[in-house]
Structure 1
Amino acid sequence: MKQRAIIKLFIDRNNRKSRTKAFKIAVSQPGVESAAIKEGEDFELEVVGEHIDAVILTNCLRRKLGHAQLVSVGPVVVAAC
């Protein structure tokens, strides 16, 4: 079953190095198929894949980038045509 995890990152929006590091950490985890940064009011990393361990991913991001917060984990919703 595909699932989606959203992790809030507390990094500088203009720091390209931190964004790249977050992507590298996310896609290195087993089961991750895609990662995207949603820019809005908060800076969130959205990860989609099969059998993702969101807690381990969040802890890795915390170790490397500073502060990260797991916002939600759930199934991927496919829109009906």
Structure 2
Amino acid sequence: SKIKGIKICKAGKRVYNFEAHSNVNPRGVEYYWLAAANLDFEDEKNSDIALLKKGYATITPIMLDLTAYERMKKVKKWLKAKE
């Protein structure tokens, strides 16, 4: 199949459905395995997933910053009270 073109776009959102499985290891210790099942994607217009399904190659510039900026003042205040 031929690529229709290249699109710069946002990242699609993956939907996770987790299943927990319990088992017993050879030493008799119970353990749990958490597995993602039936992975799917939200149907978002112009996301990388939607465009890939339409035959386009996609480029999605990404960055990662998990800082909860809105909570920083609260945590600083809490820490100062502990000093």
Q: Between Structure 1 and Structure 2, whose CA radius of gyration is higher?
A: 2
Q: Which has the higher helix share?
A: 1
Output the TM-score relative to the length of structure 2: 0.23
- Which is richer in strand? 1
TM-score, scaled to structure 1? 0.23
More RCO (CA 8 Å, sep 6+): 1
